[in-house]
């Protein structure tokens, strides 16, 4: 039982990170119906920004309190990563908005390749390890919970609450939901569609940057190629929860996190990704539009 709870906590941590990335996929998909393949690399750029900020802080000041360091890393990563995603949307996706469906998918794949190789070229191909930032571990009834895990879950919960408020209670969120339902009608009613889409990309990137910072803090290492696997898993999570649905993305992220940690605990660690992908395939066969997704109604 203790072991199970332990794995549950590990899964929750992992799932929080996936959930944060998955929101970016699902929002962009909801609003412009496009798989933003570069999102995993946006996550990696966020983590790398946090890494560089961490090193700069270490070089400039003798000692920085961990809370402040984390906050600064997170904020700078959010800002710069948002700038990346905003630029990418403007340069690579917006000109193709009226084009056929696969065109932005291809530019997204191109951008994904370009981003990860840009980081490789400018920062070198090696793994970048940092010294552990937070190392307290609490032991409750034989279940060990590290402070890192608590930070991840708390930060994710706070951000999701903020995000929920933004989408459901503000005029910006209303504009976003309107664009999601009918872009043309929203434009006719005076919503600046381009601006709304840009903001969607910025929000997705900011969440991915937080995920990147938390990932860096949790694992303590990042490399230029680390965007792909979490990216694909987060995308899997978004599809599993029903792409386009925001609660679905979080639910899917948590599910993928649980599946992974349970599978590696009880079966084999080698096949944890295989398990996650197989479960995705099985779920989609029985629920073809994900767990919380609305079935697409096709009008003829």
Binding site for other proteins (CB under 8 A): 29, 35, 37, 48-49, 51-53, 55-56, 59, 80, 83-84, 87, 91-92, 95-96, 99-103, 105-107, 109-115, 117-124, 126, 128-131, 228, 232, 235-236, 239, 243, 270-271, 273-274, 277-278, 280-281, 284-285, 288-290, 296, 298, 300
| Least distance in angstroms from the C-beta of 15 to other proteins | 18
Query: Could you tell me what percentage of the chain is helix, strand and coil, using 3-state DSSP and rounding each to the nearest 5?
Result: 75, 5, 20
Q: How many CB atoms lie within 10 A of CB 269?
A: 10
What CA–CA distance (Å, rounded) separates 250 from 232?
A: 15
Long-range Cβ contacts of 179-188 (<8 Å, 24+ apart): 179/31, 180/30, 180/31, 180/244, 183/31
Q: Exposed, middle or buried: residue 142 (CB in 10 Å: 0-12, 13-18, 19+)?
A: exposed
What CA–CA distance (Å, rounded) separates 180 from 189?
A: 14
Tokens coding 289: 């539009």
Tokens coding 272: 């944890």
67 alpha-carbon distance from chain centroid? 22
For other proteins, give the closer residue by CB, 85 or 156: 85
| Least distance in angstroms from the C-beta of 49 to other proteins | 6
| Least distance in angstroms from the C-beta of 161 to other proteins | 28
For other proteins, give the closer residue by CB, 187 or 284: 284
Tokens coding 22: 């998955």
- Residue 146 bridge partners (DSSP): 137
Could you tell me which residues come within 8 angstroms of residue 28 by beta carbon, excluding any fewer than 6 positions away? 34, 36, 39, 200, 201, 204
Long-range Cβ contacts of 125-128 (<8 Å, 24+ apart): 125/223, 125/224, 126/223, 127/221, 127/222, 127/223, 128/48, 128/51, 128/221, 128/222, 128/223
| Least distance in angstroms from the C-beta of 75 to other proteins | 13
Tokens coding 260: 């992974």
| Least distance in angstroms from the C-beta of 281 to other proteins | 5
| Least distance in angstroms from the C-beta of 222 to other proteins | 10
For other proteins, give the closer residue by CB, 158 or 274: 274
| Least distance in angstroms from the C-beta of 267 to other proteins | 12
| Least distance in angstroms from the C-beta of 163 to other proteins | 23
For other proteins, give the closer residue by CB, 156 or 183: 183
For other proteins, give the closer residue by CB, 121 or 161: 121
What CA–CA distance (Å, rounded) separates 257 from 233?
A: 9
């Amino acid at each position: 039982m203790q072991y199970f709870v332990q794995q549950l906590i590990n899964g929750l941590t992992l799932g929080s990170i996936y959930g944060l990335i998955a929101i970016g996929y699902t929002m962009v998909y909801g609003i412009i119906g496009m798989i933003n393949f570069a999102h995993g690399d946006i996550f990696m750029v966020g983590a790398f920004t946090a890494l560089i900020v961490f090193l700069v802080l270490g070089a400039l000041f003798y000692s920085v309190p961990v809370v402040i360091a984390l906050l600064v890393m997170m904020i700078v990563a959010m800002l710069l990563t948002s700038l990346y995603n905003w630029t990418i949307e403007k340069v690579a996706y917006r000109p193709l908005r009226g084009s056929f469906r696969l065109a932005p998918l291809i530019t997204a794949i191109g951008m994904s390749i370009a981003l990860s190789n840009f980081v490789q070229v400018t920062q070198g191909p090696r793994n970048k390890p940092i010294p552990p930032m937070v190392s307290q571990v609490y032991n409750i009834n034989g279940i060990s919970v590290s402070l890192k895990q608590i930070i991840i879950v708390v930060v994710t919960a706070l951000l999701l609450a903020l995000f929920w408020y933004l989408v459901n209670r503000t005029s910006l969120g209303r504009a976003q939901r309107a664009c999601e339902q009918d872009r043309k009608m929203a434009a006719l009613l005076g919503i600046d569609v381009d601006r709304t889409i840009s903001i969607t990309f910025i929000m997705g990137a900011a969440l991915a940057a937080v995920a990147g910072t938390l990932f860096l803090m949790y694992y303590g290492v990042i490399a230029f190629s680390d965007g792909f696997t979490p990216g694909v898993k987060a995308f899997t999570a978004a599809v599993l929860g029903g792409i386009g649905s925001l609660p679905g993305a979080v639910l899917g992220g948590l599910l993928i996190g649980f599946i992974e940690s349970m599978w590696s605990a009880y079966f084999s660690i080698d096949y944890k990704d295989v398990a996650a992908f197989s479960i995705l395939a099985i779920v989609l066969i029985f629920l073809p539009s994900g767990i919380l997704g609305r079935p697409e109604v096709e009008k003829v």
